[in-house]
C-alpha cells in the first residue's frame, strides 16, 4: 500500500484547493481539553471516523466512553465519514467491533451521500474503483462492473465511480486515463479523501487518484463526502427538522476535509491535534499555511 508523510499529504490537499469549497472566516482556534468542555454550547456533534474514532483498525482510547457521556447529557452524536469503501452493514459491524455503539441512522457515510445524490439519475453501466473483497450489492443502481486489468471494461463503461482504492494500481490508473482521453465520461468520487491516517502513516485514498485524473484528462469529478456539502445536507436531514446549525459542531483531524467542510456548511468545528492527520506536529504552521482555522483545537475528542 502506498503511504504519504504529513508534509506530502498537506501539500497534495493545498494543490487542489481550487476544487474544494472556499474557506469560511477563520475560527479562534481556542484550545480545549475535550468536546465535553464546551458541550453546553452545542446540541449535536458530528464526528469524523479515521483520526477521531479510530486510527486504522485501532479505536482511539476513551472516545467511546466520552460519546456515552455526551448522550447522557442529551446530545446527539453522529458519525460523518468518507469511508465509502464499506457497505453500511459492514461499516456498522466495524464500529461495533471497535467498541462503538451507534444507531445505523446515526452513521452518515460518503457512500450514502453518493447514493442519495444520484438517486433517480440514469448513470448507465459504471465501472467501479472498489476493493475486491468489499460488497457492492447496495450499488446495484449503477449497473456496476469492477475495474481491473481488462481495457474493455474501461472502454465500455458509461461512467466511473470511486469507492475504495486499496487495490488500485498505477496500471489501472493509466487504463482509466487513456479511456477518458478517448471519451470523457462522468467520474463520481464517493471518497474525496486524498489520504487517511493509519497506524504506520497515511494510506492513499480515492480522492488522490481523482485529482490526478482531473489534472491529466480535464475531466471534472463530482465529489460526494467531506468537505462537500452533500454529506452535511444528509447529516442535517438525519438530525431532523428544526436543527439550529449554530449548535452543531464537526469534530475531525483534517483541515481540508473536516474543518473546511464544517465552515462551508455553516457549523462550528474542532480539530483534533493529538493524533490523526497532525499527530505530533505543530498545528499552528499548518493553519497558517492553509488559512483554515477551526473554532477549537482539541487534545482529545
Q: Going from the N-terminus, what domains does the chain have, and what CATH number goes with each? A: 19-113+226-298 (3.40.50.1000), 122-223 (3.40.50.1000)
pLDDT tens-digit profile, the chain (301 residues): 456 788 888 999 999 999 999 999 999 999 999 999 999 999 999 999 988 998 878 898 999 999 999 999 999 999 999 999 889 999 999 999 999 999 999 999 999 999 999 998 888 999 999 988 777 778 777 777 899 999 999 999 999 999 999 999 999 999 999 999 999 999 999 999 999 877 667 889 999 999 999 999 999 999 999 999 999 999 999 999 989 999 999 999 999 999 999 999 999 999 999 877 887 668 999 999 999 999 999 987 7
pLDDT of residue 211: 98
Strand 195-198 and strand 201-204: the pairing is antiparallel
Angle between helices 170-182 and 206-217 (to 10 degrees): 40
241 alpha carbon, distance to own chain's centre: 24
Handedness of CA 261, 208, 131, 222 (dihedral sign): positive
pTM above 0.85, yes or no: yes
Distance CA(279)–CA(275), nearest Å, equals: 4
Handedness of CA 189, 190, 191, 192 (dihedral sign): positive
Distance CA(130)–CA(164), nearest Å, equals: 4
Report the 3 state secondary structure along 175-213: HHHHHHHHCCCCEEECCCCCEEEECCEEEECHHHHHHHH
Nearest to 45 by CA among 77, 13, 7, 18: 77
Distance CA(287)–CA(63), nearest Å, equals: 25
CB 114 within 8 A of CB 84: yes
Amino acid at each position: 500500500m502506498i503511504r504519504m508523510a504529513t508534509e506530502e499529504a498537506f501539500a497534495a490537499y493545498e494543490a487542489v484547493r481550487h476544487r474544494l469549497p472556499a474557506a469560511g472566516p477563520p475560527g479562534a482556534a481556542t484550545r480545549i481539553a475535550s468536546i465535553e468542555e464546551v458541550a453546553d454550547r452545542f446540541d449535536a456533534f458530528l464526528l469524523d471516523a479515521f483520526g477521531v474514532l479510530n486510527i486504522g483498525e485501532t479505536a482511539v482510547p476513551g472516545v467511546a466512553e466520552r460519546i456515552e457521556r455526551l448522550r447522557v447529557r442529551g446530545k446527539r452524536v453522529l458519525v460523518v465519514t468518507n469511508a465509502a469503501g464499506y457497505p453500511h452493514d459492514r461499516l456498522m459491524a466495524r464500529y461495533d467491533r471497535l467498541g462503538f455503539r451507534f444507531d445505523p441512522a446515526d452513521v452518515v457515510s460518503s457512500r450514502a451521500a453518493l447514493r442519495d445524490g444520484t438517486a433517480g439519475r440514469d448513470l448507465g453501466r459504471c465501472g467501479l474503483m472498489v476493493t475486491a473483497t468489499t460488497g457492492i450489492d447496495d450499488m446495484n443502481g449503477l449497473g456496476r462492473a469492477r475495474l481491473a486489468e481488462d481495457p474493455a471494461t474501461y472502454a465500455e463503461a458509461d461512467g466511473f465511480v470511486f469507492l475504495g482504492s486499496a487495490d488500485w494500481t498505477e496500471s489501472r490508473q493509466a487504463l482509466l486515463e487513456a479511456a477518458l482521453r478517448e471519451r470523457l465520461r462522468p467520474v463520481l468520487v464517493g471518497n474525496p479523501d486524498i489520504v487517511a491516517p493509519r497506524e504506520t502513516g497515511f494510506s492513499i485514498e480515492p480522492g488522490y487518484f481523482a485529482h490526478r485524473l482531473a489534472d491529466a484528462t480535464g475531466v471534472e469529478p463530482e465529489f460526494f463526502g467531506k468537505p462537500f456539502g452533500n454529506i452535511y445536507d444528509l447529516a442535517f436531514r438525519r438530525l431532523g427538522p428544526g436543527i439550529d446549525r449554530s449548535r452543531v459542531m464537526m469534530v475531525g483531524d483534517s483541515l481540508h476535509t473536516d474543518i473546511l467542510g464544517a465552515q462551508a456548511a455553516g457549523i462550528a468545528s474542532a480539530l483534533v491535534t493529538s493524533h490523526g492527520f497532525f499527530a505530533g506536529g505543530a498545528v499552528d504552521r499548518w493553519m497558517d499555511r492553509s488559512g483554515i482555522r477551526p473554532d477549537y483545537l482539541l487534545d482529545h475528542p
